[in-house]
Amino acid sequence: MTYLSSAAILVETDDATLLCDPWLEDGAFYGSWCHYPPLEASPDDFGDVDGIYISHIHPDHFDPATLRQFDTDIPVYVHDYRWDYLREEIGALGFDVIELDHDSRTHLAGDLHINILAADACDPEICGNYFGCSWVEGNPELGSTQVDSLAAIDDGEHVVVNMNDCPYPMVETSMREIKERYGDVDLLCHQYSAAQFYPSACSTTATRRNSKRATASSWRNTNSPRSSSTC
């Protein structure tokens, strides 16, 4: 497995490759997000992949600017969500979109398989417990009402689980299903920090140091002993 940037990873076996959540062009979220450090990889480096997995519709995972640079003959795999907005957006770019049911291990190419699971395990009550989705409670026919999915990717011997943005503990049920099906997991890909404003809105070290000095000086001037009529 190769980590590229953000949630983008490349999973490879001897005879198959899967690209996950390829956000490879700066300017997501209406031009406000970019890669730091600058990303060395480009879409041209992955033109021969056997498939693309898009976990959910957020622009740092589903990036039209990146996908437009890929051959539309590459199949794109997504979870079969209750609503078809992700499939329709990808399909509008010309791709063949393959929607997979929750926990359905599917052959991709060579010895590589993908299994996409909903963050809420297709149980609306789980979503209701954590996000107050009261309108879906008691309506199991709705299926997955969350925007996130995760994927178990295997070659029959090794298992990589890509959790991307799935919130815990909502995803615990789906993770238990993975454990039951696969047993040991060789590699878990999990988010390690929230999207943030560093470095564009952070002071440099020198500026922070000067700011601390100014704050300390101001505090001393404000809190130093002074004479008063009560002394």
d(CA 151, CA 171): 12
| Token pair for 95 | 């791709």
Query: Chain-centre distance of CA 91, in angstroms?
Result: 20
Tell me which residue of 57, 106, 59, 65 sits closest to 82, measured CA to CA: 57
The bridge status of strand 76-79 relative to strand 97-100 is parallel
Q: What's the CA angle centered on 124, arms 81 and 170, to 5 degrees? A: 90
- pLDDT for 219 equals 42
Element (DSSP H or E) covering residue 218: helix 205-223
- pLDDT for 191 equals 79
d(CA 25, CA 77): 20
Q: Model pTM?
A: 0.79
- pLDDT for 138 equals 57
- pLDDT for 222 equals 43
- pLDDT for 194 equals 62
- pLDDT for 132 equals 47
- Reduce the DSSP state of residue 222 to 3 states and report it: helix
Half-sphere exposure in the Cβ direction for 56 (13 Å, CA): 19
- pLDDT for 137 equals 55
- pLDDT for 63 equals 96
Task: Using 50 as the pLDDT threshold, list the residues of the chain that sit under it.
Answer: 132, 135, 214-231
Element (DSSP H or E) covering residue 11: strand 8-12
d(CA 67, CA 63): 6
- pLDDT for 170 equals 81
